[in-house]
């Protein structure tokens, strides 16, 4: 070991330390941004440390530069360009590429560098290919579903899919068993194909509402894939960082499931919530009997006299890009002396925390975003609640009706407020396809229209009245 090597090892250790501190800091609002920078710094250090130890040749440098330029540039552009509303699919895309990288490394070693590979290396290659392929195809399928490119085929809602997935899993297992005997032959390719299809087969049946959980789980997988790649190339830093992300991702997945009152098992194997009978039935007015609808003017009149207003933003708000109009309206109401706050359900938006990001983008003060536990006791003394593109998270059936599929899910108790306006495009069902008892309550009125258009109308009404 020469001095340069020693220096490289020390940098490695420092990188692990900074990565751990970064991951820890990311779970606290105050430190999150600097923690993210710290983690990025750690990554840079790790790369420098590796280059010091490995000392690539001129050809090596060339190929490193090519990969760096292409990947880095594309990453830079994507991160800059992507709209905040598309965050879940962006994370899925990045994640899939991470899985792909681990997969390629393992394939490359298996095909061209397995000369001195022992059993450990072969097992690592199997794990890396298996998990990497699932991460890649699963993430891309998740992204496709979130973007609306992929639907939920009807066969995936029947028990056929379990048969298909089990067959794929068995194929992967068999090829994994035969791979050590024939490291470059057909078992490797069978493993690759079976794992890739398995990733799609597992992700495709899952409904849109559960997709964040899946992405979080796939994120955990990409950590596992990185750790496996660490075994393949013999890098302890890679193992430790991959294991860290894998474990942290599992915890995060668990936290998200708890917030949505879903178990991981039912997300993965239960199919789209609401059962096959409801799927695809876009939903119309069927089932609702006592719906009162009102115009934006009437809603504005109620707002003008209200002293305490709570907005409940949901994914519909994000889709309509209405967060800026919402901020505008709340400024007007505050100018009139009303107390305005925002009730944020843990899974508002399409990912936990997604709504906070979107509202922060529209300059909503952080203190006005209230979490469910804080805001629920406040609803009885709230004059007007405006629900914007949220549905299942305000469904009182989750508390009252043990028959409801939502029963037990923590919800915002907006039915306690004096007056509730629900801004909605149509009477279509929510993600879960479940009837919402809130809409039929006597204090509830529906304001039909696009969230942004309605909010702008409300703004001009309130402005002209004052």
Partner 1 sequence: MSSLSQALWVLLLGSLLGLELIGKVPPTLHTPLMSGANAISGITVLASITLITKADGNPALLILGSVSLGFALFNVIGGFLVTDRMLAMFSRKKSGGGR
Per the annotation, the verdict on 284 as an active-site residue is: no
Give which of 190, 179, 444 is closest to 312, Cα–Cα: 444
How far is the C-alpha of 399 from the C-alpha of 411, rounded, in Å? 8
Phi, psi dihedrals of residue 444, rounded to the nearest 5°: -100, 135
Query: Looking at beta carbons only, is 27 or 266 nearer to partner 1?
Result: 27
Give which of 412, 353, 418 is closest to 388, Cα–Cα: 412
Among residue numbers 307 through 326, which ones bind partner 1 (CB under 8 A)?
none
1 binds partner 1 (CB under 8 A): no
Least distance CB 222 / partner 1 (angstroms):
4
Segment near partner 1 (CB under 8 A); pick from 286-294, 330-338, 342-350, 436-444: 342-350
Phi, psi dihedrals of residue 421, rounded to the nearest 5°: -110, 130
343 binds partner 1 (CB under 8 A): no
Query: Looking at beta carbons only, is 50 or 168 nearer to partner 1?
Result: 50
Is 182 in a helix, a strand, or coil? coil
Q: How many CB atoms lie within 10 A of CB 279?
A: 17
Q: What DSSP assignment string belongs to 85-101? A: GGHHHHHHHHHHHHHHH
Segment near partner 1 (CB under 8 A); pick from 43-51, 161-169, 171-179, 188-196: 43-51
Q: Is residue 375 within 8 Å of residue 412, measured between CB atoms? A: yes
Q: How many CB atoms lie within 10 A of CB 375?
A: 22
Segment near partner 1 (CB under 8 A); pick from 77-85, 280-288, 298-306, 388-396: 77-85
Query: Looking at beta carbons only, is 40 or 160 nearer to partner 1?
Result: 40
Q: Is residue 344 within 8 Å of residue 356, measured between CB atoms? A: yes
Query: Looking at beta carbons only, is 222 or 391 nearer to partner 1?
Result: 222
Instruction: Find the binder of partner 1 among 259, 271, 274, 430 (CB under 8 A).
Output: 259
Among residue numbers 407 through 466, which ones bind partner 1 (CB under 8 A)?
none
48 binds partner 1 (CB under 8 A): no
Instruction: Catalytic residue, from 12, 210, 392, 415: name it.
Output: 392
Phi, psi dihedrals of residue 401, rounded to the nearest 5°: -115, 100
Among residue numbers 206 through 235, which ones bind partner 1 (CB under 8 A)?
215-216, 219, 222-223, 225-227, 229-235
Query: Looking at beta carbons only, is 61 or 155 nearer to partner 1?
Result: 61
Query: Looking at beta carbons only, is 105 or 197 nearer to partner 1?
Result: 105
182 binds partner 1 (CB under 8 A): no
Among residue numbers 344 through 383, which ones bind partner 1 (CB under 8 A)?
344, 346-347, 349, 351-354, 356-357, 360-361, 363, 365-366, 369, 371
How far is the C-alpha of 210 from the C-alpha of 142, rounded, in Å? 10
Helices (H) and strands (E) counted in the chain, each on its own, are: 17, 6
13 binds partner 1 (CB under 8 A): no
Among residue numbers 78 through 137, which ones bind partner 1 (CB under 8 A)?
78-80, 82, 84, 87-88, 90-91, 94-95, 97-98, 100-105, 107-109, 111-113, 120
Least distance CB 419 / partner 1 (angstroms):
27
Distance of CA 248 to the CA centre of its chain: 15
Least distance CB 25 / partner 1 (angstroms):
9
Q: Is residue 399 within 8 Å of residue 406, measured between CB atoms? A: no
Least distance CB 261 / partner 1 (angstroms):
14
Least distance CB 393 / partner 1 (angstroms):
12
How far is the C-alpha of 156 from the C-alpha of 249, rounded, in Å? 26
Instruction: Find the binder of partner 1 among 5, 54, 297, 307 (CB under 8 A).
Output: 54
Query: Looking at beta carbons only, is 84 or 291 nearer to partner 1?
Result: 84
Q: In what order do the strands lie in the sheet with 384-388?
A: 369-371, 339-344, 308-313, 384-388, 419-424, 444-448
Cβ-Cβ contacts under 8 Å for 175 (sequence gap 6 or more): 186, 187, 188, 190, 191, 194
Q: Is residue 85 within 8 Å of residue 321, measured between CB atoms? A: yes
Rg (CA), the chain: 26
33 binds partner 1 (CB under 8 A): yes
Which residues are the active-site residues?
A: 392
């Amino acid at each position: 070991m020469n001095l340069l090597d020693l220096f490289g090892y020390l940098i490695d250790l420092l990188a692990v330390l900074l990565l751990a501190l970064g991951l820890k800091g990311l779970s606290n609002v105050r430190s999150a941004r600097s923690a993210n920078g710290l983690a990025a710094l750690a990554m840079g250090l790790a790369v420098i440390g590796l280059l010091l130890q490995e000392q690539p040749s001129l050809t090596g440098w060339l190929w490193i530069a090519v990969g760096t330029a292409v990947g880095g540039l594309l990453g830079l552009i994507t991160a800059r360009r992507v709209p905040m509303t598309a965050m879940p699919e962006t994370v899925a895309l990045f994640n899939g590429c991470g899985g792909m990288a681990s997969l390629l490394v393992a394939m490359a070693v298996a095909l061209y560098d397995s000369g001195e590979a022992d059993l450990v290396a072969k097992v690592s290659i199997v794990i890396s290919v298996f998990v990497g392929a699932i991460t890649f195809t699963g993430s891309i399928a998740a992204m496709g579903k979130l973007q609306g490119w992929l639907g939920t085929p009807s066969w995936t809602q029947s028990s056929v899919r379990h048969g298909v997935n089990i067959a794929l899993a068995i194929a992967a297992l068999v090829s994994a068993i035969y791979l050590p005997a024939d490291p470059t032959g057909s078992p490797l390719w069978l493993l690759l194909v079976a794992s890739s299809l398995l990733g799609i087969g597992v992700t495709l049946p899952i409904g849109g509402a559960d997709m964040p959980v899946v992405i979080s789980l796939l994120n955990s997988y990409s950590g596992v894939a990185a750790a496996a790649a660490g075994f393949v190339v013999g890098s302890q830093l890679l193992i430790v960082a991959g294991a860290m992300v894998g474990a942290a991702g599992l915890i995060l997945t668990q936290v998200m499931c708890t917030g949505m009152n879903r178990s991981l098992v039912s997300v993965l194997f239960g199919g789209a919530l609401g059962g096959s009978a409801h799927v695809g039935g876009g939903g119309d007015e069927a089932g609702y009997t006592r719906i009162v609808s009102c115009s934006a003017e009437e809603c504005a009149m109620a707002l003008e006299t209200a002293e305490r207003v709570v907005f409940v933003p949901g994914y519909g708000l994000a889709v309509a890009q209405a967060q800026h109009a919402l901020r505008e309206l709340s400024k007007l109401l505050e100018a009139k002396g009303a107390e305005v706050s925002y009730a944020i359900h843990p899974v508002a938006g399409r990912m936990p925390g997604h709504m906070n990001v979107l509202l922060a983008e529209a300059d909503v003060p952080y203190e006005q975003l209230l979490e469910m536990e804080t805001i629920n006791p406040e609803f009885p003394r709230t004059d007007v609640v405006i629900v914007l593109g949220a549905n299942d998270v305000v469904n009182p059936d989750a508390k009252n009706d043990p028959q409801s599929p939502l029963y037990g899910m923590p919800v915002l108790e907006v039915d306690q407020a004096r007056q509730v306006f629900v801004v909605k495009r149509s009477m279509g069902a929510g993600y879960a396809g479940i009837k919402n008892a809130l809409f039929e309550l006597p204090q509830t009125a529906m304001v039909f229209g696009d969230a942004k258009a309605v909010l702008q109308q409300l703004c001009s009404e309130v402005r002209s009245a004052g």
